[in-house]
């Protein structure tokens, strides 16, 4: 997802020294509604996507009668290890705080019901700004996120590739309401005409910074729609993709299992044609099939299978998962079975607990570095560290 606003310099001027949590420290609430465990539930997380700032907390409340988890990751990539609630009992809550290291898009899902998917966007924006997500998803493979600020509710952004325009729909009556939007060239090029409620107006301002048009206009209490026309918009020249049928996508709920765990394999068949079931095989480190199951697809071409490690896995090492079907693009996964390595909190959380930067511990596969700008510890993969060292950032 395109976070265009990361290139925009937004400077916070504070007249006194304060901590990150004192500046923000808001708690955002997400509900896991009753019935969300069902694949065809009207909603799985409410809201399913939110934007928070570093220092904010998100609280998930389980209003369902089933156990759930909120686990960072997606159906395709599995768990990413950023956070994992464990089992949330019915009526219970789970809270996670996000910091500067989390800036960007974080997708999450339920390990028990992996069709439940939500998104947390951690954004470094000035107070009052929000993010409207996935603009142009109906006309382009690469939808855009747009930072904006307005008091009333922005409920929709429509893209018209013929008229080369963006239409913003609002709800609410607030007089002298200033609407500010950061419009990337990837979203609309050279905006040059504006309408309010189908009447053209010249009472607006546009400034350009780093390829971003900063659009601002004052809305009366009767303004319900703003249309901006440019020389080109997202989706105008996007090539049409050839649709491939029977594409199997799958994940395991974790990438590392210990004795006594249960392996949950889930997935979906994209664009299913004449396919009613898939074959699931687990292959041992010695390349021997130790588990086989024919799994019927649901009405929405989804599948899930739970396999106990006890009685199934008999040796430590890396296992393969094959998900196959006739005339399909098959999926091949892997996981490790053994004794779990130590897992340490994020560097920022370790430093907040009183640990010096040079004594911070990094998880397996990461190395400790220190940011030159503020002396804070950061754990990086070798490839990322090489890039940041060339830029003299660490």
pLDDT of 19-60, one tens digit each? 433 444 778 889 999 999 888 888 899 888 787 888 889 999
Average pLDDT, the chain: 84
**Cα–Cα distance list, 143 to 8, 49, 138, 147, 184 (Å):** 19, 15, 8, 13, 11
Count CB atoms within 10 A of the CB of residue 60: 22
Question: What does the alpha-carbon distance between residue 268 and residue 75 come to, in Å, rounded to a whole number?
Answer: 9
pLDDT tens figures, 283-302: 999 999 999 999 999 888 88
* Contact by Cβ (8 Å): 259, 311: no
Domain 2-122: assigned CATH number: 2.60.40.420
Does residue 333 have a pLDDT over 70? yes
For residue 161, what pLDDT is reported? 92
Question: What does the alpha-carbon distance between residue 243 and residue 241 come to, in Å, rounded to a whole number?
Answer: 6
Does residue 340 have a pLDDT over 70? no
* Contact by Cβ (8 Å): 371, 378: yes
What pLDDT band is residue 13 in, cutting at 50, 70 and 90?
very low
Lowest mean pLDDT among 84-93, 204-213, 383-392: 383-392
266: nearest Cα among 83, 81, 79 = 79
Lowest mean pLDDT among 191-205, 273-287, 296-310, 336-350: 336-350
pLDDT tens figures, 193-202: 999 998 999 9
For residue 391, what pLDDT is reported? 65
184: nearest Cα among 157, 218, 203 = 157
- Does the domain at 247-337 match CATH 2.60.40.1930? Answer given as yes
With a pLDDT cut of 70, the percent of the chain lying above it is 89
What pLDDT band is residue 387 in, cutting at 50, 70 and 90?
low
Q: Which two tokens stand for residue 281?
A: 């095989």
* Contact by Cβ (8 Å): 5, 104: no
For residue 384, what pLDDT is reported? 67
Strand partners, 369: 378
Question: What does the alpha-carbon distance between residue 228 and residue 233 come to, in Å, rounded to a whole number?
Answer: 10
Question: What does the alpha-carbon distance between residue 317 and residue 32 come to, in Å, rounded to a whole number?
Answer: 36
Sorted by sequence, the CB contacts under 8 Å of residue 313 that are 6+ apart come out as 257, 259, 284, 290, 319, 337
What mean pLDDT comes out for the span 109-125? 86
Q: How many degrees, rounded to 5, is the angle at CA 366 between CA 364 and CA 372?
A: 150
User: Which has more confidence, 194 or 255?
Assistant: 194
User: Which has more confidence, 283 or 122?
Assistant: 283
Strand partners, 50: 120
Question: What does the alpha-carbon distance between residue 97 and residue 129 come to, in Å, rounded to a whole number?
Answer: 20
Q: Beta strand pairing status for 193-196 and 289-296? A: unpaired
Question: What does the alpha-carbon distance between residue 218 and residue 179 come to, in Å, rounded to a whole number?
Answer: 6
Q: Residue 329 has what DSSP assignment?
A: B
Q: Please give the order of strands across the beta sheet that includes 199-201.
A: 153-160, 165-171, 225-229, 193-196, 199-201
Backbone angles phi, psi at 163, to 5 degrees: -90, 0
Does residue 134 have a pLDDT over 90? no
Long-range contact pairs involving 27-31 (C-beta distance under 8 Å, separation at least 24): 27/56, 27/57, 27/58, 27/59, 27/95, 28/52, 28/56, 28/57, 28/58, 28/59, 29/58, 29/59, 29/60, 29/61, 30/58, 30/59, 30/60, 30/61, 30/118, 31/60, 31/61, 31/63
376: left (phi over 0), alpha (psi -120 to 50) or beta: beta
What distance, in Å, lies between the first and last C-alpha atoms of the chain? 26
Count CB atoms within 10 A of the CB of residue 157: 20
Q: Which two tokens stand for residue 150?
A: 């307005």
* Contact by Cβ (8 Å): 119, 107: yes
Q: How many degrees, rounded to 5, is the angle at CA 75 between CA 73 and CA 81?
A: 20
Q: In the chain, which residue ranges form alpha helices assigned H by DSSP?
A: 20-23, 347-352, 382-390
Question: What does the alpha-carbon distance between residue 232 and residue 245 come to, in Å, rounded to a whole number?
Answer: 32
For residue 243, what pLDDT is reported? 53
């Amino acid at each position: 997802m395109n976070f265009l606003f990361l290139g925009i310099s937004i400077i916070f001027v504070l007249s006194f020294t304060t901590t990150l949590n004192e500046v923000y420290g808001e708690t955002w609430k997400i509900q896991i509604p009753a019935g969300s465990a069902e694949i065809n539930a009207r909603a799985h997380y409410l809201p399913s996507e939110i934007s928070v700032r570093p220092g904010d907390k998100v609280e998930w409340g389980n209003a369902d009668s089933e156990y759930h988890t909120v686990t960072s990751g997606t159906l395709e990539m599995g768990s990413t290890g950023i956070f994992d609630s464990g089992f949330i009992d019915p009526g219970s809550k789970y809270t996670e705080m996000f910091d500067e290291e989390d800036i960007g898009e974080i997708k999450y899902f339920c390990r028990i019901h992996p069709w439940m998917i939500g998104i947390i966007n951690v954004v470094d924006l000035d107070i009052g700004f929000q993010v409207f997500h996935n603009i142009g998803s109906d006309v382009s493979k690469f939808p855009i996120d747009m930072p904006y600020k307005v008091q009333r509710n922005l409920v929709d952004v429509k893209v018209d590739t013929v008229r080369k325009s963006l239409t913003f729909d609002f709800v609410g009556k607030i007089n002298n309401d200033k609407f500010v939007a950061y419009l990337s060239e990837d979203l609309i090029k050279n905006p040059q005409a504006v309408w309010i409620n189908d009447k053209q107006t010249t009472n607006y301002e546009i400034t350009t910074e780093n390829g971003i048009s900063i659009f601002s206009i004052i809305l009366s209490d009767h303004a319900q729609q703003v249309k901006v026309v440019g020389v080109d918009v997202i989706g105008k020249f996007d090539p049409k993709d050839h649709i491939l049928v029977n594409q199997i996508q799958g994940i395991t709920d974790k990438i590392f299992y210990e004795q006594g765990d249960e392996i949950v394999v889930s997935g979906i068949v994209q664009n299913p044609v004449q396919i009613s079931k898939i074959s699931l095989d687990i292959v041992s480190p010695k390349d021997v099939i130790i588990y086989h199951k024919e799994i019927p697809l649901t009405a929405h071409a989804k599948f899930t299978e739970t396999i106990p490690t006890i009685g199934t896995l008999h040796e430590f090492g890396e296992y393969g998962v094959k998900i196959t079907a006739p005339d399909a693009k098959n999926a091949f996964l892997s996981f490790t079975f053994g004794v779990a390595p130590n897992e340490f909190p994020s560097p920022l959380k370790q430093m907040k607990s009183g640990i010096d930067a040079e004594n911070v511990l990094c998880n397996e596969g990461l190395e400790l570095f220190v940011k030159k700008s503020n002396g804070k510890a950061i754990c990086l993969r070798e490839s990322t560290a090489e890039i940041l060292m060339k830029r003299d950032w660490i």
